[in-house]
């Protein structure tokens, strides 16, 4: 039992180290980037959900990965088509992946399955982790193909758990950003209200000053009119006396 667990552990370590080999990274990095960005997007915009277009796109990922893996098997040792006979289990695994991708493509394109099932089977985690497991299986050099199955299942399950756990800090981070934005908006609103009040006070003050100036002008004109009237009356009286 202990030797079996040690063997499983060693194979998991082997697959993790295999992930970082250059030829494998060319296939794994796009999957990793796409997975992370999509997780980031849907945690950022919680109101949005994956739809049929997303499930269809994820199915295309499986299609492109399977074609790439067929190319890899074909190029092993420069033998070409005979590799599909020499590596039957790997060929069957890739053919199965291709078949699944085509079935999902049809089902997602025509909306043939219930959306609840499509949401699970066509999710980015399901499709990309499945693609990742098949990539590692095809690129592996284990003597027995059966030795790869359990370690790959454990590895993909662990990655699925890790990515789902990653959602919590991402959610917390975006909630924190939203709270800070709301605080800034509230602060700006209060400042705007204060500025409006100050402007109103300034307008009232200026209106008051303008009224005072207008009143003074009117009073001045009224005095001038009275003075002119007095002068006219004086002139009239002088004329009458003459």
Task: Give 6-16 pLDDT, tens digit per residue.
Answer: 888 888 898 99
Could you tell me if residue 211 is inside a domain? Answer: no
Domain-located, residue 58: yes
Phi and psi at residue 145, in whole multiples of 5°? -65, -30
Q: What is the pLDDT of residue 240?
A: 64
Q: Which secondary-structure segment (H or E) carries 156? A: helix 146-241
- 237 inside domain: no
Structural domain contains residue 73: yes
pLDDT at 47: 65
- For the chain, residues with pLDDT lower than 50 are none
* Tally of domains within the chain: 1
The residue range of the domain holding 78 is 2-184
Residue 220 placed within a domain:
no
Among residues 9, 14, 156, 155, the alpha carbon closest in space to that of 1 is found at 9
In a domain, 206, yes or no: no
Residue 201 lies in a domain: no
**Per-residue confidence (pLDDT) for residue 210, from 0 to 100:** 81
**192 falls within a domain:** no
For the purposes of burial, counting CB atoms within 10 Å of the CB of 169, is it exposed (0-12), middle (13-18) or buried (19 or more)?
Answer: exposed
User: How many Å apart are CA 208 and CA 239, to the nearest integer?
Assistant: 46
Closest CA to 159 of 61, 32, 40: 32
């Amino acid at each position: 039992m202990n030797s079996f667990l040690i063997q499983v552990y060693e194979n998991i370590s082997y697959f993790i180290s295999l992930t970082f080999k250059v030829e494998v990274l060319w296939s794994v990095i796009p999957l990793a980037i796409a997975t992370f960005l999509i997780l980031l997007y849907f945690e950022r915009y919680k109101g949005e959900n994956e739809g049929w277009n997303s499930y269809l796109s994820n199915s295309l990922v499986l299609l492109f990965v399977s074609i790439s893996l067929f190319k890899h098997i074909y190029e092993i040792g420069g033998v070409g088509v005979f590799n599909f006979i020499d590596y039957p289990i790997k060929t069957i695994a890739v053919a199965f992946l291709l078949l699944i991708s085509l079935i999902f493509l049809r089902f997602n394109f025509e909306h043939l399955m219930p959306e609840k099932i499509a949401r699970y089977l066509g999710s980015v985690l399901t499709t990309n982790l499945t693609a990742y497991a098949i990539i590692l299986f095809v690129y592996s050099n284990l003597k027995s193909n059966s030795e790869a199955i359990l370690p790959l299942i454990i590895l993909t399950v662990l990655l699925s758990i890790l990515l789902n756990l990653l959602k919590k800090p991402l959610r917390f981070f975006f909630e924190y950003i939203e709270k800070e934005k709301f605080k800034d908006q509230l602060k700006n609103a209060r400042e705007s209200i204060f500025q409006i009040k100050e402007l109103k006070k300034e307008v009232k003050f200026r209106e008051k000053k303008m009224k005072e100036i207008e009143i003074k002008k009117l009073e001045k004109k009224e005095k001038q009119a009275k003075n002119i009237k007095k002068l006219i009356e004086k002139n009239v009286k002088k004329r009458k006396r003459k």
